[in-house]
Structure 1
Amino acid sequence: MSVGAREPLLRHILGDLLRRRRHEQKRTLADVATEAQISMPYLSEVERGLKEASSEVLAAVCRALGIGVGDLLAEATAEFALLRQPLVVTTITEPAPVGFAPQSGYGSVSLLAA
């Protein structure tokens, strides 16, 4: 990360991962919150990264979603790695075909890589 860049927050990454799992399962906040025995507004705040969930709450939500806490944390670690990699932009320019009047930027392709 560059100097001055902020580290991603764990609560944002975990919340996003939990929301993705819930959406993949086509389940509602109310359904998962009820099964996890937590309030729906609290689960919503956890998913949006507004609240830092305790390990007990994470375990309950993971159980309700049918995923392991270790799997969630492994996925969060992978997300951290992706978010921490600098964005690299490379431009590749192809020569214009023979007999073709070149235009500005002909054949330019920008590649983004993390």
Structure 2
Amino acid sequence: MSEHSSVETPRTEAPRLRAIPGGRDERPRRTDSEIRPMAPVQTRPRTELLWREALGRRLRILRREQGETLAETAERAGVSPQYLSEVERGLKEPSSEMVAAMAGALGTPLGGLVHQVADDLVRHSRIAAPRAIGPRTHAPYNGLLLAA
């Protein structure tokens, strides 16, 4: 067997990078007194409950009534516990297929869940804005409300 001799190759130094003309290194740094604070973002208080928020609240109520954890319900629905948590907190707007899967995992018919969410939305709108546009009746809501 012949020994392999290692031949040392001469190392060449990589070329030094230069700053781009007008780039960060060439601009004078501003002092704190020169930096203007950002104006606060003006947000209008929202009193109307969104569909995804009402859905999430209703799903959480149903899950807790059954004494289930996020992981148990999420596994049966075929979603991750993180996703179900985001839906329950009103951060994600699930597709109709996902809503059906979550309703099924909780043993609730999809129509029943949608009806409960619609009732929650109507109840909240009456509390938040008693002069809301709509039928001027004090009868309970008997229709089906769908979100686009």
Q: TM-score, normalised by structure 2?
A: 0.54
Q: Which moved more, 1:78-87 or 1:47-56?
A: 78-87
**AA of the residue aligned to 1:36:** A
> Could you say which residue in structure 2 is the equivalent of 1:9?
50
Counterpart-to-counterpart distance in 2, 1:78 and 1:86:
12
- 1:7, distance to aligned residue in structure 2 (A): 2.2
Offset at residue 84 of structure 1 (A): 1.1
Q: CA deviation at 1:6?
A: 3.7
Counterpart CA distance in 1 for 2:103 and 2:58 is: 11
Q: Note the C-alpha offset of 1:77.
A: 1.1
1:68 aligns with 2:101: no
The answer as to 2:75 corresponding to 1:34 is yes
Rg comparison, structure with higher value: 2
Q: Which has the higher contact order (CA 8 A, sep 6+)?
A: 1
Structure 1 unpaired stretches of 5+ = 88-114
1:50 aligned residue (83, 91, 95): 91
When normalised by structure 1's length, the TM-score is 0.69
Q: Percent identity?
A: 44
Q: What is the root-mean-square deviation in Å for CA atoms of aligned residues?
A: 1.5
Count of aligned pairs between the two proteins: 84
Q: 5 Å matches for 1:71-110? A: 71-86=112-127
- From the two aligned structures, give the one with the greater strand fraction: 1
Structure 2 gap segments, 5+ residues each? 1-44, 129-148
CA distance in 2, matches of 1:62, 1:37: 12
Q: Does 1:18 align with 2:59?
A: yes
- Counterparts of 1:82 and 1:5 in 2: how far apart (Å)? 16
